[in-house]
Structure 1
Amino acid sequence: MALHEKDVSRISMLMIKYYEQALTADEELELKNTLSSDLAAKKVFDDLAKTGYVKTELNSMNRFDATATLASFHKKHFPKKEKPFIFRLSTLIAAASIILVLSIGLLYFNKLARPKGDLASNDIAPGKNTATLVLANGKRITLDNAKNGELVTEAGVTITKTKEGQIVYTIDDNTNTDNATQDDQRSQRSQQYNTLITANGETFEVRLPDGSKVWLNAGTSLKYPVSFNAQAQRKVELSGEAYFEVFKDKQHPFIVQSEGQQVEVLGTRFNVNTYKNEPAIKTTLLEGSVKVNEQTILKPNQQSVLTAGQIKVIPVLAESYIDWQEGVFNFEYETLPSVMRKIARWYNVEIIYVDTERDNQTFSGYVSRSSNVSKVLQTLTEISNLEFKLKGKTIVVSKTPK
Structure 2
Amino acid sequence: MKPDNTQKLIVKYITNSISAKELEKLDKLIQEPINEKEFWDFIKTNYRIDYNMKEFNTGESKKRLLDTIRMDKRVVFRRKFRKIFKYAAFAIFFLGMGYFIKQQLYKEHNKKTIVPKESFITLELGNGNVKVISEDGSSSVKDSQGEIVGSQVGKKLVYKKKNRSEKWVYNTLNVPYGKQFNLELSDGTVVYLNAGTSLKYPVKFLDGGQREVFLDGEAFFEVTENKKSPFIVNSGDMNVRVLGTKFNVSAYPEERNKVVVLVKGSVELYDKNRKKDRVGTTALKPGMKGNFDVERKNITTEPVITSIYTSWVDGELVFRNMAFSKILKRLERRYDVTIINKNVKLDNVEFNASFGNMPVGQIMEYFKSVYGIDYTVDQDRITIE
TM-score normalised by the chain length of structure 1: 0.66
Q: What does residue range 332-371 of structure 1 map to in structure 2 within 5 Å?
A: 332-369=320-357, 371=358
* 1:327-362 deviation digits (Å, cap 9, x = unpaired): 111111212111111001111122211223545543
Distance 2:170 2:143 in 1: 13
1:300 to 280, 286, 289: 286
Aligned length in residues: 306
Q: What does residue range 2-401 of structure 1 map to in structure 2 within 5 Å?
A: 39-40=15-16, 42=18, 54=29, 114=105, 119-124=110-115, 131-144=121-134, 147-154=137-144, 158-173=148-163, 185-186=165-166, 188=167, 190=168, 192-293=169-270, 295-307=281-293, 308-369=296-357, 371-398=358-385
Q: CA deviation at 1:368?
A: 2.0
Change (3 A) 1:227 1:157: farther
Any unmatched runs of 5+ in structure 2? Answer: 1-10, 34-86, 276-280
* 1:219-260 deviation digits (Å, cap 9, x = unpaired): 111011121124520001100111111011000000000112
Q: Which has the greater radius of gyration?
A: 1
Q: CA deviation at 1:41?
A: 5.7
Structure 2 contact 267–285 (Cα < 8 Å) conserved: yes
Structure 1 contact 329–366 (Cα < 8 Å) conserved: yes
Q: CA deviation at 1:287?
A: 0.4
Q: CA deviation at 1:205?
A: 0.8
Distance 2:186 2:27 in 1: 60
Q: Alignment RMSD, CA only?
A: 3.8
Cross-structure match for 1:89: none
Change (3 A) 1:328 1:37: farther
* 1:344-397 deviation digits (Å, cap 9, x = unpaired): 11111222112235455432232123x321112122223312123222221111
Distance 1:270 1:236 in 2: 14
Structure 1 contact 262–292 (Cα < 8 Å) conserved: yes
TM-score normalised by the chain length of structure 2: 0.69
* 1:71-104 deviation digits (Å, cap 9, x = unpaired): xxxxxxxxxxxxxxxxxxxxxxxxxxx9xx69x9
Structure 1 contact 124–372 (Cα < 8 Å) conserved: no
Distance 2:345 2:263 in 1: 32
Identity of aligned residues (%): 27
Distance 1:245 1:160 in 2: 19
Q: CA deviation at 1:44?
A: 10
Structure 1 contact 337–357 (Cα < 8 Å) conserved: no
